[in-house]
Amino acid sequence: MSQRGGFSPVPVRPFPKAETRKVNTKGRKRKVTAILTDSPVKRALEQEAEERKRKN
């Protein structure tokens, strides 16, 4: 079939379907609220921070 009328199917074509969204299964590590002036808790948090620094 030739294009006598000048009709093109491009403007009639539907939009492509979007892919399904990725689900983040890992999530983020939750912490418990703490009073940072309390020395045992503060020391533990400082140690965790130092360990993270050493890993990086």
Which amino acid makes up residue 37?
Answer: T
Task: Give 15-56 pLDDT, tens digit per residue.
Answer: 888 888 888 777 777 877 766 776 888 888 889 889 988 887
How many structural domains compose the chain? 1
**Selection from 29, 32, 24, 36 nearest residue 52 by Cα:** 29
For residues 46 and 54, is the Cβ–Cβ distance under 8 A? no
For residue 3, being part of any structural domain is answered with: no
Rounded distance between C-alpha atoms, residue 36 and residue 45, angstroms: 9
- What is the model's pTM? 0.36
Residue 50: the pLDDT is: 92
For residue 20, being part of any structural domain is answered with: no
The CA distances from residue 45 to 31, 39, 54, in Å, are: 11, 10, 14
Residue 44 sits in which domain range? 31-56
3 confidence band (pLDDT: 50, 70, 90): low
For residue 18, being part of any structural domain is answered with: no
